Chain A
Amino acid sequence: MLFQSNRPYCGMEFSENSSATQYTPHATLLRQLLISSLMALAMFFLCVGKSLAAEHIIQMTAEEVHEDGFGSKLMAYKMLSHTVNGTNITHRYSNHATIPGPTLFLTEGDTVNLTIYNDIPGANAGVLKGISSQVSVHVHGVHYKIVSDGTLKVINQEDDQGAGVGPAQTHANYSYTWDVAPGTAGTWAYHDHNYETHNGAEHKGLFGAIIVNPVGAANYAKEFVLYLTDDAFWGMEIDSHGMKQKKHGINPDFIARKDSEVRFHLIALGTDIHKFKLSGYQWADPGTNNMINEVAIGPLEKHVFTVKATKNAQYSDENFTNKLMGMVGKLKVSH
């Protein structure tokens, strides 16, 4: 296993292609582990007096996307830039607005300064009948002060905390500070809370995930992010090699190398209650040692599990209507 290495420590830049981040075959695992440990140890001593915590500066915007051909639109977040202690890692993200939005990898102890912009047509038009044109980023799981709640003033009693024209305040952009404090490890949703009403447009595509790892956490060959919505899975795949975010969209087919450790990040969103299955696999229920092979998950719950990719499988939602509407995808295991 490797130490978390998707970001530089102490301003020391790792090449995205350095051996420390590459997929590691089993045979060399032990050796690699030793080297990595030594490197980390060395770095720790090199950085005495400096915190291991990283500072993330993130800029994102929201756009209209996925014209369905019949005039109905969705919205999506787009990464504009992401630097970690000054190192630019923006190339890991799609150049386009995507559903789900960018997956942000963080480590306990980090801080995040995220600024949201708004490129949705009408963002700067006046507010009609109190309808908000703002978009925001409301995050789950991590610590933040009330000014970073990403909600409208009608909720937080402080400010319309988004970009665009709000019912009470207007901002060209809005910045949030997150304290990725100890105890916040896990996978969490972020989503809009301000578009049109105080409920926002999370169900129109404005959602994404943060993955908070503990310091020194295991690394996984692949990270699969899957949002369970009312008629489809929206997902993406991230290869630990290069951390490039790919395969955005509906019911993606995931690919894993045989016997590699892969991690699924499930978050539900919408109105339906789902029952997730990954055929032929079982996994530990988070926070317990219980092995399970299906899980009930409701909107904005998260469920993170790892499996060793041993065989092809189908993932599915067993919800009556969703299953009949084809809410399934594949895990393809290659040799």
Chain B
Amino acid sequence: MNKYFSGLSIPLTKMTVLILFTVTMLASSMAFAAVHNITLTAETLPNGQLAYKLSGEARAAIPGPTLFVKQGDSVNVTLTNNTAVPVSFKVPGVGEQNPAMTAPGATATYAVDATTVGSYVYHGNSNGKELLGLFGALIVDKTDGSVERYVNDNGALTAVAQADIDKQLVLFMVGSTFWATEIVDGIQKPLWANPILGAAEDEIVRFHVLSVGPAHTFHLHAHRWLKPGTDSVIDTKLLVDGADAHSFTIKAGAGVGKGDWQFHCHLISHMEAGMHGSFKVGGAGTSSTVGASPYGRILLGTDDVPGLVTFEISDEGASWFRSARGDAIVGLPYDIKTKSLEVMAPGSSVNFVMSDTNGVHTISTLLWPTGAHHMPFDQTSAYRGGGIIKLDTPGLYVFTCKVHPYMFGAVIVDDPNTVGLDLGNPEKEYKIDLVTGISGLPTSSDLAVRLLRTFFVATSPDNWQDYSSQIWNVKFPTLPVRISGAPFSEELTQGGVSAPLSILNVNDAPLALLGKPAVPGVGEVWINTQFEKTDGKTKPGTITVVDAKNWTVKRKIALPEINMNNPHNMWVNRDQSVVYQTQWFDTKLTMLKRNNGQLIKNIHVGDTPSHVMTLPSNDDITIAINGENGVALIPAGKFEISKILPTQAAGHTSANPHGHWVSADGKSIVTPNINTGDIGIYGVDGKIHSRTSTGNNAPGAHPIAIGMMPDSSKVYAANLLHHTLSVLNGDTGALIKTINLIADYHPITGAFADNDGNGEIAVGVLPIQSPVSPDGKAVVIASTGGQIVIIDTATDTIVKMLPCDPGCHGANFGAKKGGGYYAYVSNKFSNRMIVVDIDPNGDGNIADAGIAGDVALVAGNNTAIDDTVNSLPGFGGQGVLAIPVVYNGWVQNLPSKWKKGLTDAQKNPIGH
């Protein structure tokens, strides 16, 4: 029997497996058609990835077994699910397109008829979990024994029979990683992630290139092949979104000879994310080299080969970079509360796959051990896919997404020869470098410890401030770590001695609300409680509506009918009847009714829309497309984008605008361009008026949100990673001033002092939203490090620092009853809103600015709901919108019923 006819190619050492295959020759009309009975299990690998295992094989592999059949054959699969998630066996384009799911622990059968010659993907159809490794190839060959022709060195299209093939290479393109299997003489050998493929010159090599998930193009240097089904000679092939497959045959080195020929995905973002390998064409006996293995040198790994840890990129609060084995890690006896931490040995690789997100992201290093190679790791623009990188230098690496800069994943590459886990490079006194240009930062410094705390709080909901519990605990792992110089504890003073991270724990700290503000606000405050989870949705996020009259939670809007995903920022139309809501980890802008929270329309607007505002001049809607390169416009009253205004000239790097603002006359749109580190001022006609770099040319200053003076004379931009506030001329875009928000902080010692001599000790670490009060007196900056900083616009100096919670994020102004303004401030990692009164005595001097009170964002008995909150109640506070909108330009357009509650000064904030 032909080795390919038996269905599967099995290692010779596992020949006994063959008996599991009952290849039944059918008689009569279906001459030579075979029935292949295949027994598979779905397994969890040591690194948490999932994979199919052929019955009788010792191990599961990625990709799963390659199934070779002939046209006319049928395939019966018996699948036993040994994983914790429902899995299936789906072959897109062939047979059942919605096959039944097999529950954990259960067994089911699947049948596929191989009616059409071609290459097919089979996968687990597991709601994204299949991207963790539940995929393989089904190759349906011709009955005459011929396969794809190759292009010979003289250009001849040369016929190939099965028997001519020296080697087959199965390459799956998933996320931004290649997963390979090599098949020689019927033996299937897993090559794992990004291997070196090898072949002897002139060997006949048949490639099967397949994909699951987002699209790719496959390119192999210096080789040509035939586009399937055509005589067209190509060297690059698109594999479309979903699942796609592509088989071709080459003669290794034909016309070009020996060499290390690169193969890679040709999408720039995927190239930058590490999606490449080498095809080594050499002399006789040239063989492949196995890539990074899920069984290799990682925490609790079993094999002494280069290992692989994998993070799933997720829309789920705190688990944005979720280790594929995050649940198991949390269950280890080390008090690890985060699912976003991995540990592996030098020379192993870290892999990322965007398997649980509807948004686009980058995989970007925030910090790394001093002197580590190939740092920073980054992509020019955000996209769908993933990333893979081999890490050789011991120490801590923290990854983030530039678009969503609180998404964190950390990998400790640990030198097994040092005591404790290495947080910095042992060769460089355990120091680290930051993406913002700081290099050689001791891991014992206050800044390094703060960054570490930020990571363990952001990624561990158990460490968040839940005001319902009235106490706060922060738990760090009990694992000992090795840092620069003295460890955290004064008692352990021998330099370099490792101490457990849990030395940083906060135990049972009291946590109490301050109480409601004494003076009511006007109208409602809408807050995006972006991490709150409800029963009717797989995606997180609600809108929490607070009644400013009595400071109670009036309504929770989850919109289960559209699975509203990470609602981030809002605005409202002129008559305050329709609220516009962005879904920041998705592609949609949602319109809903203000009065009852009901859905009006869910509109596709582009990748990862962040902020939305109207033009006060005509009520058109502007949406910053944070994952891409423009600002979308929806004409007032319409449900479709009319155009996207580019934020950069053609061909130039995507600006990726985040929290834009619109001038009071509606003529210009000002964007903080997170990817290019500048502030752009654009005409609503699409003209680029100015682009001004911020952050004193430091790399990655990350301008993130804009505030504008009510007369548009000045623009304020918060630079998240530069800890500064840029002040720009609102007309020309010229930089007026850069206000350092951490001048009063010593990054090494952590000492606070009035270093900038403004009479106040005030810092704003990681500043985010920074609106200007409607009367133009104050800028309020919500800083994610847990501070609110107030700037006097008359002098552009800091006048005050107020305490905020971890993850302090959103801020916007609303009218205070009887005159004046409240700034409403939200927090990601707590569940309350803080109300700041910028001028309690109303004398026009903001020196008395202070906190007026706070409001818990948890639903009460009288809260109207459209879904039931089941976890993270009130958490994830980000976008804030006070209704009525009382900013200059907008307030004048309010319908009379909304103006009624306002004072004359509030109705005309700068003409008064």
- Return chain A residues, CB-CB under 8 Å to B629: 230-231, 321, 325
The answer, yes or no, to whether A202 is at the interface (CB within 8 Å) is yes
**Complex formed: what's the CA distance from A6 to B642 in Å?**
45
The answer, yes or no, to whether B222 is at the interface (CB within 8 Å) is yes
The answer, yes or no, to whether B234 is at the interface (CB within 8 Å) is yes
**Complex formed: what's the CA distance from A230 to B688 in Å?**
19
**Complex formed: what's the CA distance from A321 to B605 in Å?**
8
**Complex formed: what's the CA distance from A104 to B769 in Å?**
52
**Complex formed: what's the CA distance from A130 to B654 in Å?**
25
The answer, yes or no, to whether B257 is at the interface (CB within 8 Å) is yes
Q: How many residues on A have C-beta within 8 angstroms of the other chain's C-beta atoms?
A: 62
- Return chain B residues, CB-CB under 8 Å to A202: 268
The answer, yes or no, to whether B224 is at the interface (CB within 8 Å) is yes
Beyond A184-B155, A320-B604, whether A232 also contacts B650 by CB under 8 A is yes
Please state if B267 and A188 are interface contacts (CB–CB under 8 Å): no
- Return chain B residues, CB-CB under 8 Å to A324: 606, 630, 632, 641-644
Beyond A74-B651, A181-B255, A199-B271, whether A301 also contacts B238 by CB under 8 A is yes
Please state if A99 and B651 are interface contacts (CB–CB under 8 Å): yes
The answer, yes or no, to whether B278 is at the interface (CB within 8 Å) is yes
The answer, yes or no, to whether B649 is at the interface (CB within 8 Å) is yes
**Complex formed: what's the CA distance from A267 to B221 in Å?**
17
Contact with A149, one of B221, B267, B641 (Cβ below 8 angstroms): B221
Contact with A203, one of B226, B227, B380 (Cβ below 8 angstroms): B380
Please state if B648 and A72 are interface contacts (CB–CB under 8 Å): yes
From B235, which residue of chain A is reached at the shortest CB distance?
A140
Please state if B235 and A286 are interface contacts (CB–CB under 8 Å): no
Please state if B604 and A286 are interface contacts (CB–CB under 8 Å): no
The answer, yes or no, to whether A185 is at the interface (CB within 8 Å) is yes
Please state if B233 and A186 are interface contacts (CB–CB under 8 Å): yes
From B680, which residue of chain A is reached at the shortest CB distance?
A70
Please state if A181 and B690 are interface contacts (CB–CB under 8 Å): no
The secondary-structure label for the interface of chain B is loop
- Return chain B residues, CB-CB under 8 Å to A186: 232-233
Please state if B238 and A296 are interface contacts (CB–CB under 8 Å): yes
Contact with B along A145-179 (1 / 0, CB 8 A): 11001010001111000000000000000000001
Please state if A299 and B272 are interface contacts (CB–CB under 8 Å): no
Please state if A300 and B651 are interface contacts (CB–CB under 8 Å): no
Please state if B215 and A273 are interface contacts (CB–CB under 8 Å): yes
The answer, yes or no, to whether A8 is at the interface (CB within 8 Å) is no
Please state if A231 and B646 are interface contacts (CB–CB under 8 Å): yes
The answer, yes or no, to whether B256 is at the interface (CB within 8 Å) is yes
The answer, yes or no, to whether B240 is at the interface (CB within 8 Å) is yes
**Complex formed: what's the CA distance from A67 to B235 in Å?**
33
Please state if A70 and B690 are interface contacts (CB–CB under 8 Å): yes
Minimum C-beta distance from B377 to chain A (A): 11
Please state if B628 and A321 are interface contacts (CB–CB under 8 Å): yes
**Complex formed: what's the CA distance from A183 to B259 in Å?**
21
**Complex formed: what's the CA distance from A321 to B649 in Å?**
15
The answer, yes or no, to whether A229 is at the interface (CB within 8 Å) is yes
Minimum C-beta distance from A149 to chain B (A): 6
Contact with B238, one of A68, A146, A297 (Cβ below 8 angstroms): A297
**Complex formed: what's the CA distance from A297 to B239 in Å?**
10
- Return chain B residues, CB-CB under 8 Å to A203: 268, 380
Please state if A140 and B236 are interface contacts (CB–CB under 8 Å): yes
Please state if A271 and B646 are interface contacts (CB–CB under 8 Å): no
The answer, yes or no, to whether A122 is at the interface (CB within 8 Å) is no
From 222 to 277 in chain B, residues with beta carbon under 8 angstroms from any chain A beta carbon are: 222, 224, 226-227, 229-241, 255-262, 266-272
From A182, which residue of chain B is reached at the shortest CB distance?
B155
From 221 to 250 in chain A, residues with beta carbon under 8 angstroms from any chain B beta carbon are: 229-232, 234, 250
- Return chain A residues, CB-CB under 8 Å to B258: 146
From A72, which residue of chain B is reached at the shortest CB distance?
B652
**Complex formed: what's the CA distance from A188 to B224 in Å?**
11
**Complex formed: what's the CA distance from A66 to B830 in Å?**
48
Please state if B156 and A250 are interface contacts (CB–CB under 8 Å): no
Please state if B257 and A146 are interface contacts (CB–CB under 8 Å): yes
Q: Which candidate, B146-154, B519-527, B789-797, B891-899, is the interface stretch facing chain A?
A: B146-154
Minimum C-beta distance from A255 to chain B (A): 21
- Return chain B residues, CB-CB under 8 Å to A158: 259-260
Beyond A74-B652, A232-B650, whether A271 also contacts B267 by CB under 8 A is yes
Contact with A285, one of B217, B230, B269, B607 (Cβ below 8 angstroms): B230
Please state if A299 and B267 are interface contacts (CB–CB under 8 Å): yes
Please state if B154 and A182 are interface contacts (CB–CB under 8 Å): yes
From 16 to 39 in chain A, residues with beta carbon under 8 angstroms from any chain B beta carbon are: none
Minimum C-beta distance from B272 to chain A (A): 6
**Complex formed: what's the CA distance from A146 to B240 in Å?**
30
The answer, yes or no, to whether B373 is at the interface (CB within 8 Å) is yes
The answer, yes or no, to whether A205 is at the interface (CB within 8 Å) is yes
Please state if A298 and B267 are interface contacts (CB–CB under 8 Å): yes
**Complex formed: what's the CA distance from A270 to B226 in Å?**
23
- Return chain A residues, CB-CB under 8 Å to B154: 181-183
- Return chain A residues, CB-CB under 8 Å to B233: 141, 183-186, 287
- Return chain A residues, CB-CB under 8 Å to B155: 108, 181-184
Minimum C-beta distance from A153 to chain B (A): 10
**Complex formed: what's the CA distance from A325 to B641 in Å?**
11
Beyond A183-B156, A270-B268, A324-B643, whether A188 also contacts B652 by CB under 8 A is no
From 271 to 292 in chain A, residues with beta carbon under 8 angstroms from any chain B beta carbon are: 271, 273, 285-288
From 55 to 73 in chain A, residues with beta carbon under 8 angstroms from any chain B beta carbon are: 66, 68-72
Contact with A along B262-297 (1 / 0, CB 8 A): 100011111110000010000000000000000000
Beyond A155-B278, A298-B266, whether A229 also contacts B236 by CB under 8 A is no
Contact with A298, one of B238, B383, B632 (Cβ below 8 angstroms): B238
The answer, yes or no, to whether B344 is at the interface (CB within 8 Å) is no
**Complex formed: what's the CA distance from A249 to B373 in Å?**
38
- Return chain A residues, CB-CB under 8 Å to B643: 324-326
**Complex formed: what's the CA distance from A74 to B226 in Å?**
34
From 111 to 155 in chain B, residues with beta carbon under 8 angstroms from any chain A beta carbon are: 151-155
Minimum C-beta distance from A188 to chain B (A): 7
From 590 to 637 in chain B, residues with beta carbon under 8 angstroms from any chain A beta carbon are: 604, 606-607, 625, 628-630, 632
Beyond A99-B651, A184-B155, A301-B217, whether A287 also contacts B257 by CB under 8 A is no
- Return chain A residues, CB-CB under 8 Å to B153: 143, 181, 183
Which of A72, A188, A202: most chain B CB closer than 10 A? A72
Minimum C-beta distance from B425 to chain A (A): 15
- Return chain A residues, CB-CB under 8 Å to B641: 324
- Return chain B residues, CB-CB under 8 Å to A138: 221
The answer, yes or no, to whether A144 is at the interface (CB within 8 Å) is yes
Minimum C-beta distance from B634 to chain A (A): 11
Please state if B256 and A298 are interface contacts (CB–CB under 8 Å): no
From B373, which residue of chain A is reached at the shortest CB distance?
A130
- Return chain A residues, CB-CB under 8 Å to B688: 68-70
**Complex formed: what's the CA distance from A287 to B632 in Å?**
40
The answer, yes or no, to whether B658 is at the interface (CB within 8 Å) is no
The answer, yes or no, to whether B660 is at the interface (CB within 8 Å) is no
Q: Please list the 4 inter-chain residue pairs (A to B) with the smallest Cβ-Cβ separation, ordered nearest first.
A: A183-B155, A287-B232, A146-B259, A287-B230
Give A contacts to B, CB under 8 Å.
66, 68-72, 74, 99, 108, 130, 138, 140-141, 143-146, 149, 151, 155-158, 179, 181-186, 188, 197, 199, 202-205, 229-232, 234, 250, 270-271, 273, 285-288, 296-302, 320-321, 324-326
Sample 30 A-B pairs with CB under 8 A, ordered by A number: A68-B649, A70-B678, A71-B693, A140-B235, A140-B236, A141-B233, A144-B256, A145-B256, A149-B261, A149-B262, A155-B260, A156-B259, A158-B259, A181-B255, A182-B155, A183-B224, A184-B224, A203-B380, A205-B651, A229-B650, A231-B646, A232-B651, A250-B651, A273-B241, A285-B230, A287-B232, A298-B217, A321-B607, A325-B630, A325-B643
Give B contacts to A, CB under 8 Å.
151-156, 215-217, 219, 221-222, 224, 226-227, 229-241, 255-262, 266-272, 278, 373-374, 380-381, 383, 604, 606-607, 625, 628-630, 632, 641-644, 646, 648-654, 676, 678, 688, 690-691, 693
Known: A140-B219, A146-B256, A229-B650. 9 other contacts (CB 8 A): A68-B688, A70-B649, A74-B652, A99-B651, A146-B260, A149-B261, A234-B651, A271-B381, A298-B215
